[in-house]
Copies of this chain bind each other. A is one copy, B any other.
Amino acid sequence: MRTVLGVGLTLTVLAAFPCHGQDAADTTPPSLQALHAHRAPTPSTLLADAPASAWRTLDPENTLYMRLPQGRVVIELAPQFAPRYVANIRKLVREGFFDGLPIFRVQDDGVAEWGDTTGQKSVGTARRMVAAEFERPARDLPFTPLPDSDTYAPQVGFSDGFPAARDPMFGRAWLANCYGMVGAARGNNVDSGGGTALYTIIGGPERQLDRNTTVIGRVVQGMPLLSSLPRGNGPLGVYRDRRRWVHIESMRVAADLPPAKRMPLEVLRTDTPTFTRYLEALRNRHGPWFKVPAGHVGVCEVPIPVRSPTGG
């Protein structure tokens, strides 16, 4: 398995990539460049220097492994935002509910969706429907706010590793539908979902979904296995031809695997000085490539870094 750190960082440093062969001389004196780099770390140097305490290991009880023919997708669950859904999804997974079910919808600049398309598959001891968990009280919720404004919410930030929003006036908080976030499908009735079909965002943010779906977690590894699937040719990206379906081989709770079989993934904590400095490095990009630091960063443009300490 390769080290994930590189992957987690590709977005943040994409623009530092000079086009091969087109790199003309930079007019900044080298000495000033070095000074600049010293004073304002880039996101990647900052993460490389982060103390071990800036990282946390995934809780195996809140980690799902979804095995596809192409490889493994790892999902971190967010029980602090959707306790009933997360408990139900764990039950579904432990019943083997998802094993053999398809990814049946891949919508360009939209979502990939998987699960039961029939509504008929037995849920065993789990429930088919769970009362919606679109938002929760903001009180007692860890929250590292972004200083930047957001188009959709009075305040945005990060909570336990997830992009989130909150409304101080009403004391409510909810997860933001950014790239890689995982939510539960539902029908028109708000309480008609239960986790038997799940989606993840594979393109631009879908913030219109905020507070309209129960968001249950985030893909922390394996997004390319979902985002690079062929797009469905039916309405909303549903595969018209079921032969295009990708079948889930198995879905497991990491805690149910022997410790040696679990993936030792670590996620950057979002409640540390390191994370605050990381945000600042994203808000104002430094290094030789960026000329106009934005001075801001959107809540959905902050990749939460994930790494595999063992690398290899």
Binding site for B on A (CB under 8 A): 6-7, 10-11, 13-15, 17-27, 105-111, 115-120, 128-129, 134, 148-152, 178-180, 185-194, 196-197, 202-213, 223-224, 227-231, 235-238, 282, 285, 288-292, 294, 296-301, 303
Q: Copy number of this protein in the oligomer?
A: 2
A108 close to B7 (CB less than 8 A):
yes
Kindly list chain B residues whose C-beta atoms are within 8 Å of the C-beta of A185: 17-19, 22
Kindly list chain B residues whose C-beta atoms are within 8 Å of the C-beta of A227: 108-109, 203, 227-228, 231
A208 close to B303 (CB less than 8 A):
no
Per a CB cutoff under 8 Å, which of B23, B134, B152, B228 touches A230? B228
Top 6 A-B pairs ranked by shortest CB distance?
A: A21-B119, A23-B187, A19-B185, A24-B192, A24-B189, A18-B187
Counting chain B CB atoms within 10 Å of each CB, which of A197, A229, A298 scores highest? Answer: A298
Measured in the bound complex, the distance between the Cα atoms of B105 and A180 in whole Å is: 21
How far is the CB of A64 from the nearest CB of chain B, in Å?
Answer: 19
Per a CB cutoff under 8 Å, which of B25, B205, B237 touches A10? B237
Per a CB cutoff under 8 Å, which of B206, B209, B228 touches A229? B228
A-B contacts, 15 listed (Cβ < 8 Å): A11-B206, A18-B186, A18-B188, A19-B119, A22-B129, A24-B189, A108-B224, A109-B227, A134-B292, A150-B151, A151-B299, A205-B205, A205-B298, A207-B301, A208-B282
